[in-house]
Amino acid sequence: MSSTLIVLNLKTYLEGTGEGAVKVAQACKEVADDSGIEIGVAPQFCDIYRVASQVDLPVYSQSLDPVGAGSFTGHAFVQSIKDAGAVGTLINHSECRLTLANIDASITTARNAALKTIVCTNNVATSAAAAALGPDYVAVEPPELIGSGIPVSKADPEVVTGSVEAVKRINPAVQVLCGAGISKGEDLAAALELGSVGVLLASGIVKAADPKAALEDLVSKV
């Protein structure tokens, strides 16, 4: 298996909801098997078990709450997420932002449950701050480019290279993913050339007419 990582965030897209989540995950699994590249998915909470129990690939939660067992109605409890089959979680996505204290607490909560952590950031400074907290990955995604179809690797390559340098300087064990506007093979290739180990992406694949074909194009230049 390649060291490259692709994580597909299904968000709340109808195409990635319920049985749609399973279909997208199955496409990811088939392309991962054919390419040797690790591909994971981040479905909605209610679909974690559905996907993890039917498709053999890494499943991530879209977030979690740093709460323990007890009186925490309405929160996303880490044990429930893990028992549903997740192997990791996104933290601080631009559509679900947290305070620095909650990012730290979420990383600790996930780590204590042996879940991998992907902390989303939006620039070099926040990437550096996130790296100091010791997640497994930092995923740098300028929010203005998310869903734009304009890859950050082309629109703002300095934010990727700068994040890679800052993260490596602060905590070499943390790896960097590149996000926002990623959808094509040239986008992934460019992200890797800039020093990231993979990508976090969403609409370019989930909402594609043929997600498997879109994924095959994504990995075609690696």
Give catalytic residue positions: 93, 141
Amino acid of residue 11: K
Give the residue from 218, 140, 207 showing the smallest Cα distance to 178: 140
Phi/psi-derived region of residue 36, left when phi > 0, alpha when psi is between -120 and 50, beta in every other case: left
Query: CA-CA distances (angstroms) from residue 220 to 35, 54, 110, 191, 213?
Result: 8, 26, 33, 14, 10
Residue 184 is assigned to a ligand binding site = no
**Is residue 198 annotated as involved in ligand binding?**
no
* 171 belongs to an annotated ligand binding site: no
* 9 is known to lie in a ligand binding site: yes
Is 11 annotated for ligand binding? Answer: yes
Cα(71)–Cα(68) distance, rounded to whole angstroms?
9
Residue 181 is assigned to a ligand binding site: yes
Q: CB count, 10 Å around CB of 10?
A: 24
Instruction: Answer yes or no: is 209 a known binding residue.
Output: no
Mark the binding-site residues for substrate, compressed into ranges: 9-11, 146, 181, 202-203
